[in-house]
Amino acid sequence: MTPDLMALLVEAYPDGFEYDTIYFTNAKGEKVEAVPLETEDTKYLIKVSSTLTKNFEAFDLEEFEESVSSEDEDFESDDLDD
């Protein structure tokens, strides 16, 4: 999962997604737990796993937003140099 998508998931479920998951049976006949996530133009069903749960709990949204903001500033200053 990309950091951008993880940021969207954390924003959509700031208190966790424990009670918002859905279950379905995949083509292999396996029961799958997933969390829905929608953007303006895309709907996701993100499979819940122990890795997703750990990454979700450890993700620091403020730190991510600061790093994106500083990347944007770097990009803008590079544009001005041209």
Is 81 among the domain residues? no
**Which pLDDT belongs to residue 77?**
47
Predicted TM-score (pTM) of this structure: 0.74
In a domain, 47, yes or no: yes
pLDDT at site 67: 86
35: CB partners within 8 A, 6+ apart: 9, 13, 17, 20, 21, 22, 45, 46, 48
State the total domains in the chain.
1
With respect to residue 82, please indicate whether it lies within any of the assigned structural domains: no
Tell me the pLDDT of the chain (82 aa) as tens digits: 899 999 999 999 999 999 999 999 999 999 999 999 999 999 999 999 999 999 999 999 889 988 877 765 555 544 555 5
pLDDT of residue 40: 93
Query: CB atoms < 10 A from the CB of 71, how many?
Result: 10
Which pLDDT belongs to residue 49?
95
- What residue numbers bound the domain in which 9 lies? 3-76
Q: Is residue 41 part of a domain?
A: yes
